Amino acid sequence: MDLLQQVAANLAIEEGKAEKGIGAVLMALRMAIPKDAFEQVKHAIPNAESMMGHALMSSGRTGEMAAVTGPAGLLAALAAAGINKADIPRLGRLVTEHVRPIIGSPAVDRFLEGIPVLRG
């Protein structure tokens, strides 16, 4: 089961919402880790760029695409994606545990320290 299917099944949401939620978390991660580390994430997660694009497009009205910067931006992007606030920590755990073997525990732990809403 890939990450998209895992998130959709665990949160009991449609894959479109799961895709946007994963994309929002990946955009936040992209801002928090070195570019070369994020390139590894993109190669390991099928359609990572597409998911980030869908999350970006869902976060604003026509012509308004807000970047995910910090916890407030991530919360706004997740809300726009249709992710229930109570499910955000579970989504965060699923995505971060998926990327932990790719970027390492120290990088994941630093990311989660900066975005505590993903930890619950």
Higher pLDDT, 59 or 87: 87
d(CA 30, CA 112): 13
CATH code of domain 3-118: 1.10.490
> 42 or 71, which is more confident?
42
pLDDT of residue 21: 95
- Give dist(CA 95, CA 118) in Å, integer: 10
Residue 104: left (phi > 0), alpha (psi -120 to 50), or beta?
A: left
Compute how many other C-beta atoms are within 10 angstroms of the C-beta atom of residue 44.
14
pLDDT of residue 64: 43
Domain ranges of the chain: 3-118
Give the Cα separation of 96 and 116 in Å (integer): 12
Between the alpha carbon of residue 39 and those of residues 23, 35, 66, 119, the distances in Å are 15, 6, 22, 24
Query: Distance between CA 36 and CA 17 in Å, rounded?
Result: 28
pLDDT exceeds 70 at position 69: no
CA distance 82 to 110: 26
Reported as a pLDDT band with limits 50, 70 and 90, residue 62 is: very low
Say yes or no to pLDDT of 55 above 50: yes
pLDDT > 60? residue 2: yes
SS3 content of the chain, % helix, strand, coil (to 5): 75, 0, 25
List, for residues 83-110, the tens digit of each pLDDT value: 999 999 999 999 999 999 999 999 999 9
Residue at 10: amino acid letter: N
